[in-house]
Chain A
């Protein structure tokens, strides 16, 4: 570095000032000057010209303030003249130095008030210059804000749990910070002061975490979670106010603010949450590449070597894993956080797409089955049609998969729930999630939420024992709840396991006898007894608690699961724990149905509702006075429902012993449907019947069959009600 180039840099700076139209430095020019000054500070440093460097630094600091407070600067002239003077002074120092080689004394510095410390002149202080002037209560904007914010808050909940596991990960902090930041921003525009202030406080806290001022502690995570809850409450209130429903909850944030303040006073007092990043070895074990024992041995050997080897390397050397497997594991470790590129699409558009593809599939199948195509001998047409069939079915598969989302978010919400519940119940519960990436239809996610919540509540409240009891039973004090999801034949299976006390066979059986559900417990298998908990009117909880004591029993869960055409089973080992195994169809858009014929009409009965198909013999059919027609099936008398009567059509057969009887389950009871013939089983795409036919009882929808004809999907419960109301008005024949 020589003096000449420094002189050049200074001259350039001076020219930059000279060519300004007015004596006003705008933001962009300030930016250019800042870069120039930075260069000058470096050059002056290289030449040991400290007075010049100081002068440049001072101008730099002043410009920084100018930029930051730009909107509040009244006197741009003053900024300009200070720059002018400062640059002149620097040029003078440089000239003297070049001529004499002397560095001018520091006390002859630029004429600025040292007290000012580079402060911009005449800055009007004050937050939000435009506060109070913003009036933009556009209703649709507020609505958008509500929807989008709530969506964002759900994201916060997921990400904060991730953060708890990986406290060092800045991406997670940012992912939590951003929604608060965005919510605050919009709330500011919409004059939603309370929401803005709360989001602002939380944002501030996270900013400190991001800048490594605060550690990630359980206290902090609780504060953020509670803050997110309060925000949700406030936004919920806003929603109620807009809808005029008047349902508002009281959101009090004074305690939260107090805790934030405590954090501020002494953030380090709280211990940091343990870091948990999955190690390479763990990933490889999870993937089944390496045996746990082998990993342990390799780890031991590797740590003894000097310098210690990396696990992946050691595993490859030992021949326990291939380089490819290790690099895949490494990639997996790295991408634990990064999400795939995605776009947001209105679900209605997706629904429309799926619908249209459904139509396409049907049309395609109609073309394929049309006689003129069938009888055609042209080979090209034949080939083209089969090609079209392949493409449409692939298209259908893809369009269905568009609505599929991983169950992760639901699981994360559950683990949040477990946290909250166990705290209230004074129990320690760890949660383990397996198969979070298992996918499920977006529309199903909401539906399965409530039954799952109830099962979790049940496990925390009744399953897991208090720490004292656990210790006495020789179990670890902290209980374990495991959520597991996987696909099995068109269904998603969700298992909820707790390692608690297990179901009490005697208690359930006694209660069931007492309530008249069963006559005696003799000869019942454990399974049968456990299954009784799904019957209405059986709850063995002795103490009503905040958690489960809401008058809702397992029977309600069963009903909710049934409604979704799902299944629920329970397995239990006394003292070891209980597992609820639920399974739900992957989508509500397709139904697995039994196609039956009555006269010329065809109907679809959901297979989940079907218990049995049979042709009864004449003796098992009876007409009971006051009860109507019944069929005796395995010693039980079940009412007979003649479908043709309900739908007023001409059947082929009227005698049950000549026709077919389908035993179907309603919500609480089973009945026999009389049909002419069983045609077969088929997966059909459900179509709504439109608003005008929505109130029709006994039919839940329609479906277009492979040959293009329409079949109605029967709703057993509705049919039962229909037949009961008929039999009240007209006696059975």
Chain B
């Protein structure tokens, strides 16, 4: 299956370096169309004003967490179908059930390689 590499990906994380890390990884696997937001609230605002094809979001953020963002998106008729990949940490993996029940497409555990990320994105896009 060939995945469209031109899709617009929104990376949400409060730590700027982390956003850069993910951006670099995405670049390595050919995704260049990347925008950023530093928390759920800003991300949600961004989604109101522009078309985003894929969301990669951190879980623990101030103001609005990744889970809250996910729930807001799933509750919004226009955005509900947007693929959502949650970034989580090994220690907090037990929490993912909550996100899964809230309708996350998949999650990825930090730290991850470009290959793992590529696989996750491809699989999600394949399934929708």
Contact = CB atoms under 8 A, between A and B. Distances in A.
Contacts of A204: 91
Given A31-B103, A130-B116, A133-B113, A148 B94 contact: no
Interface in A150-207: 152, 174-175, 177-178, 181-186, 188-190, 200, 203-204, 207
Nearest to A64: B97
Given A27-B100, A204-B91, A186 B106 contact: no
Contacts of B112: 130
Given A130-B113, A134-B111, A138-B24, A148 B97 contact: no
A451 B105 CA distance: 55
Given A127-B90, A144-B17, A181-B89, A27 B110 contact: no
Interface string B54-78: 0000101111000000000000000
B69 to A, nearest CB: 16
A181 B14 CA distance: 11
A376 to B, nearest CB: 46
A68 B89 contact: no
B20 interface: yes
B21 A189 contact: yes
Interface in B96-128: 96-97, 100-107, 109-113, 116, 123, 127
B16 to A, nearest CB: 6
A35 B25 CA distance: 33
B109 A134 contact: no
A40 to B, nearest CB: 14
A17 to B, nearest CB: 15
Contacts of A145: 17
A182 B14 contact: yes
The residue among A35, A68, A148, A189 with the most chain B CB atoms within 10 A of its own CB is A189
A204 B90 CA distance: 11
Given A27-B106, A130-B112, A185-B111, A200 B100 contact: no
A397 B105 CA distance: 49
Nearest to A171: B62
Given A67-B97, A175-B62, A182 B18 contact: yes
A188 B111 contact: yes
Contacts of B14: 178, 182
Contacts of A27: 100, 104-107
Contacts of B15: 148, 152, 182-183, 185-186
A22 B63 CA distance: 40
Contact of A148 (B17, B91, B104, B123): B17
A101 B11 CA distance: 54
A34 B96 CA distance: 12
A186 B16 CA distance: 10
A26 interface: yes
A31 B17 contact: no
Contacts of B6: none
Nearest to B28: A136
Interface residues of B, number: 39
Contact of B21 (A35, A64, A136, A178): A136
A144 B20 contact: yes
A71 interface: yes
B5 interface: no
Contacts of B116: 71, 129-130
A174 B93 CA distance: 17
B96 to A, nearest CB: 6
A181 B90 contact: no
A275 interface: no
A129 B58 CA distance: 19
Nearest to A175: B62
A31 B105 CA distance: 9
Nearest to A35: B101
A189 B58 CA distance: 14
A30 B16 CA distance: 32
Interface of A: 26-28, 30-32, 34-35, 38, 64, 67-68, 70-71, 127-130, 133-134, 136, 138, 141, 144-145, 148-149, 152, 174-175, 177-178, 181-186, 188-190, 200, 203-204, 207, 341, 344
Top 9 A-B pairs, shortest CB-CB distance: A188-B111, A31-B100, A182-B15, A144-B17, A27-B106, A189-B111, A145-B17, A185-B110, A130-B113
12 contacts: A27-B104, A31-B101, A67-B100, A70-B106, A128-B90, A128-B111, A141-B20, A148-B16, A182-B60, A183-B15, A185-B18, A188-B110
